[in-house]
Chains A and B, each alone.
Chain A
Amino acid sequence: MTQEVVTDKPKRAGYFCIYTPIELITAAGATPIRLFKGGDADTVSSGEVHTRSSFCQFAQHSVGAFREGDPLYTSIDKIYHFNTCDQMKKAVEAIGEFFDVPYQMLCLPREKSRESSRAFMRREVEVFRNDVEGLTGNLVTDERLSEEIVKHNRARLWLKKISELRKRDEPPISGGEFLELVKAFYYLPVEKNLEQFEHFFRHLSAQEDTGERPLRIMISGGIIADGDNRLVDLLEKELGARIVVEDHCTGLRPFYYPISEDKTPLDALSDGYLDTAPCARMKPLTERLDFSEKLAQEYRVDAIVYVSLKFCSCYSISLNSFVKRFQGVGIPVLDISADYSESDLGQLRTRVGAFFELIKKGEKSASTKAA
């Protein structure tokens, strides 16, 4: 299905998880769009028509957005899914089945350090390249791919540098604002972002530090979808804390490590994406915990809010080891089991409020859990 004619409108390649090497999409001349909207209860119930209630609400929301004809989602020409968790894999199959959206499944190994995993990932990345070439009709040369790797690395580095401004006592950018820059990375062309991010960095780094030190929070856990603002707003706008770093896939985490610019481009992508700061579905779990701890120390956080969506097996099962690890280093953890319903804001406020009251009293080693 190679297309010869170059149309005005580039093809749009949609993806859900950050393990998708988007450099291959742009190198083939298509536009990558990360599909990570969430937070709307009506869209969730629409998606539940084709899933089951035991799916996490991000998966249901993703299906629901197609069912409701979301303009961004329905503009997607093909979905590429490097499978991370089973729920999202099945959600993609449902989208393909019920809404006739073409999709390509790709396998992401779990044991990332194994030699066989590396070789396998390398072959999947090749399958991915061949498929996007088919989608756009453009060949992906090593040269083009290297250019894209450099550009995306620069964009990642800007975000990392902007994030690092939050290491100051008084961060010049809130967690909510940082998430907007993350959205830009996933929705807007990289060239435009390079310009914007630099502009943001200049402005923000020039901002005066008045030395006020708010309560410093790290958010950790599963996805905080675009549109799922409740918790971030509650923490920052209502309770006056600051999210200084995110250990999740829609915050700083995916921008932490660059892709190698020294290897051949396909090797670099295959290794680089496998070695990105890990999601809880990867093995061994200790690597994830090590990374979380490193972030928490680096950003000098006072406390951690650990969020997992209901029915997310990856992030709910790893919670225990997570809490234990941070009990060991004396950083309190509040665990929140979330969904996109709007009815429980009162309870959320009480939970977080009581947690803050507890921390302010200097109970450093305490941890709290939601049932």
Chain B
Amino acid sequence: MSKKFIGLDIGSRGAKGILLVDGEIHTAIRPTGFNMQETGDALIDELLQKSGIKKSEITHIVGTGYGRVILNFGDIPYGDVTEISCHAKGAHYLHPNVRTIVDIGGQDSKAIKVDPTTGKVTDFVLNDKCAAGTGKFLEMIATSIGLTVEELGEISLQSTKTVKVTSQCVVFAESEVISLKAQDESQADIAAAVHLSVARRVGNLLSRVGIESDVVFTGGVSKNKGMRRALEEVTKANFVELSLDAQFAGALGAAVYASELATASHKVTKIHKERDLFASLRQDLGNIKEAA
């Protein structure tokens, strides 16, 4: 009997699922929603339906993304691995020569260095906790010029004139965009400027780990053609096309981890227990700090 593994990538905006059966890949995707457990369960149901496999046949599940720590699937062994390792693993699985990954998701962006012999992470940089350089940024700007985020990418390819959005802050960038609108700049030119501004930001992350070919672009924003072009322009890199929609790279990596049972050693042992030894000290400290 072949073994069947599921990888779930519960991101800040989108949740992705991968079912791996003998190298055959099934995918599922949906908005993350509020309840991450429900989202995870729904992804699994969809994967099972698509593949005609029964839940009891699943060998192992690995979760990644923001929602990874709270998931639980009853009898099926579950572990979690960070999305950084998973994106590397997934991209390596599809394209073993990958050395650099740029991942832009809904709420963060990352530059990851991968060891091409193992698919393991050797270095990584995350964006600061700030929406500049993320999918959320593009979404907000798209709304402010009356487009969807998909349209924003498409239309930017028709840009004929260079205009500039320089602010690093979403809020200020939005007002910059409104000024550009008032100056009667076209949607296409504004869209191109916005992508370029994100690309510069992400390019900085990339230059901190160093760009080495082959480079792969993953995450939800990798579907955006305008972003891809801007990023190639800024980094002078050529992105390798993957055989699978690159926003599934994290979920695929999770499924590969599940197959390696890499999570067996990942269990956290509770080493920390409250001790009587500290009780009286804590009381003394409490007294001085409260009743001064």
Q: Taking the complex as formed, is A18 at the interface, i.e. its CB lies under 8 A from any CB of chain B?
A: no
The reply to whether B128 and A236 contact each other, CB–CB distance below 8 Å, is no
Chain B residues near A196 (CB, 8 Å)? 281
Shortest Cβ distance from residue A8 to the other chain B in the assembled complex, whole angstroms: 15
The reply to whether A180 and B278 contact each other, CB–CB distance below 8 Å, is yes
The reply to whether A354 and B289 contact each other, CB–CB distance below 8 Å, is no
Q: Taking the complex as formed, is B180 at the interface, i.e. its CB lies under 8 A from any CB of chain A?
A: no
Chain A residues near B115 (CB, 8 Å)? 363
Given the interface pairs A346-B66, A371-B204, the reply to whether A354 lies near B84 with Cβ below 8 Å is yes
Q: Taking the complex as formed, is A237 at the interface, i.e. its CB lies under 8 A from any CB of chain B?
A: yes
The reply to whether B208 and A366 contact each other, CB–CB distance below 8 Å, is no
Given the interface pairs A180-B281, A188-B288, the reply to whether A369 lies near B272 with Cβ below 8 Å is no
The reply to whether B124 and A358 contact each other, CB–CB distance below 8 Å, is yes
The reply to whether B69 and A357 contact each other, CB–CB distance below 8 Å, is no
The reply to whether B288 and A72 contact each other, CB–CB distance below 8 Å, is yes
Q: Interface residue tally of chain A, by bracket?
A: 35 or more
Shortest Cβ distance from residue B135 to the other chain A in the assembled complex, whole angstroms: 15
Shortest Cβ distance from residue A198 to the other chain B in the assembled complex, whole angstroms: 13
Chain B residues near A239 (CB, 8 Å)? 268
The reply to whether B268 and A240 contact each other, CB–CB distance below 8 Å, is yes
The reply to whether B128 and A363 contact each other, CB–CB distance below 8 Å, is no
The reply to whether A366 and B126 contact each other, CB–CB distance below 8 Å, is no
Majority SS at the chain A contact face: helix
Given the interface pairs A74-B292, A184-B285, A238-B268, the reply to whether A363 lies near B125 with Cβ below 8 Å is no
Q: Taking the complex as formed, is A347 at the interface, i.e. its CB lies under 8 A from any CB of chain B?
A: yes
A177 to B279: give the CA distance in the assembly, Å.
11
Nearest-CB residue, chain B, relative to A360:
B265
Shortest Cβ distance from residue A334 to the other chain B in the assembled complex, whole angstroms: 10
Q: Which of A72, A346, A357, A371 is the one whose CB lies under 8 Å from B208?
A: A371
Chain A residues 349-371 with CB under 8 Å of chain B are: 349-351, 353-354, 357-358, 360-361, 363, 366-371
Shortest Cβ distance from residue A354 to the other chain B in the assembled complex, whole angstroms: 4
Chain B residues 250-270 with CB under 8 Å of chain A are: 265, 268-270
Nearest-CB residue, chain B, relative to A237:
B272
Chain A residues 46-97 with CB under 8 Å of chain B are: 71-72, 74-75
Q: Which of B84, B272, B278, B288 is the one whose CB lies under 8 Å from A187?
A: B288
Chain B residues near A187 (CB, 8 Å)? 285, 288-289
Shortest Cβ distance from residue A171 to the other chain B in the assembled complex, whole angstroms: 10
Shortest Cβ distance from residue A222 to the other chain B in the assembled complex, whole angstroms: 17
> Chain A 180-197, CB within 8 Å of chain B: the 1/0 string?
110110011000100010
Chain B residues near A192 (CB, 8 Å)? 284
The reply to whether A353 and B82 contact each other, CB–CB distance below 8 Å, is yes
Q: Taking the complex as formed, is B271 at the interface, i.e. its CB lies under 8 A from any CB of chain A?
A: yes
Q: Taking the complex as formed, is B277 at the interface, i.e. its CB lies under 8 A from any CB of chain A?
A: yes
Shortest Cβ distance from residue A363 to the other chain B in the assembled complex, whole angstroms: 5
Nearest-CB residue, chain A, relative to B87:
A354
The reply to whether B83 and A350 contact each other, CB–CB distance below 8 Å, is yes
Shortest Cβ distance from residue B134 to the other chain A in the assembled complex, whole angstroms: 11
> Chain A 335-348, CB within 8 Å of chain B: the 1/0 string?
00100000110110
Nearest-CB residue, chain A, relative to B289:
A72
The reply to whether B122 and A337 contact each other, CB–CB distance below 8 Å, is no
Nearest-CB residue, chain A, relative to B202:
A371
Q: Taking the complex as formed, is A120 at the interface, i.e. its CB lies under 8 A from any CB of chain B?
A: no
The reply to whether B125 and A242 contact each other, CB–CB distance below 8 Å, is no
Shortest Cβ distance from residue A50 to the other chain B in the assembled complex, whole angstroms: 22
Nearest-CB residue, chain B, relative to A356:
B82
The reply to whether B281 and A181 contact each other, CB–CB distance below 8 Å, is yes
Q: Taking the complex as formed, is B156 at the interface, i.e. its CB lies under 8 A from any CB of chain A?
A: no
Interface centre among B118, B128, B265 (most CB of A within 10 A): B128
The reply to whether B272 and A350 contact each other, CB–CB distance below 8 Å, is no
Q: Taking the complex as formed, is A174 at the interface, i.e. its CB lies under 8 A from any CB of chain B?
A: yes
Q: Taking the complex as formed, is B81 at the interface, i.e. its CB lies under 8 A from any CB of chain A?
A: yes
Q: Which of B271, B281, B291 is the one whose CB lies under 8 Å from A214?
A: B271
A197 to B59: give the CA distance in the assembly, Å.
51
The reply to whether A369 and B121 contact each other, CB–CB distance below 8 Å, is no
Shortest Cβ distance from residue B251 to the other chain A in the assembled complex, whole angstroms: 16
The reply to whether B268 and A71 contact each other, CB–CB distance below 8 Å, is no
Shortest Cβ distance from residue A332 to the other chain B in the assembled complex, whole angstroms: 10
> Chain B 131-149, CB within 8 Å of chain A: the 1/0 string?
0000000000000000000
Q: Taking the complex as formed, is A200 at the interface, i.e. its CB lies under 8 A from any CB of chain B?
A: yes
Chain B residues near A174 (CB, 8 Å)? 271-272
Shortest Cβ distance from residue A277 to the other chain B in the assembled complex, whole angstroms: 24
The reply to whether A183 and B126 contact each other, CB–CB distance below 8 Å, is no
A74 to B292: give the CA distance in the assembly, Å.
8
Q: Which of B127, B265, B271, B292 is the one whose CB lies under 8 Å from A236?
A: B271
The reply to whether A354 and B128 contact each other, CB–CB distance below 8 Å, is no
Interface centre among B81, B108, B128, B292 (most CB of A within 10 A): B292
The reply to whether A371 and B125 contact each other, CB–CB distance below 8 Å, is yes
Shortest Cβ distance from residue B85 to the other chain A in the assembled complex, whole angstroms: 5
The reply to whether B272 and A354 contact each other, CB–CB distance below 8 Å, is no
The reply to whether A75 and B292 contact each other, CB–CB distance below 8 Å, is yes
Q: Taking the complex as formed, is B75 at the interface, i.e. its CB lies under 8 A from any CB of chain A?
A: no
A183 to B278: give the CA distance in the assembly, Å.
12
Q: Which of A184, A236, A344, A366 is the one whose CB lies under 8 Å from B129?
A: A344
Q: Taking the complex as formed, is A203 at the interface, i.e. its CB lies under 8 A from any CB of chain B?
A: yes
Q: Taking the complex as formed, is A272 at the interface, i.e. its CB lies under 8 A from any CB of chain B?
A: no
Chain B residues near A337 (CB, 8 Å)? 128
8 A/B residue pairs, CB under 8 Å, sorted by A? A71-B290, A177-B278, A214-B271, A343-B129, A354-B124, A358-B120, A358-B123, A370-B126
Please give 6 more A-B residue pairs, beta carbons under 8 A apart, in addition to A350-B66, A354-B85. Answer: A180-B282, A242-B271, A354-B83, A358-B123, A369-B125, A371-B127
Top 7 nearest A-B pairs (CB, nearest first) are A354-B84, A75-B292, A354-B82, A353-B82, A71-B292, A72-B292, A240-B268
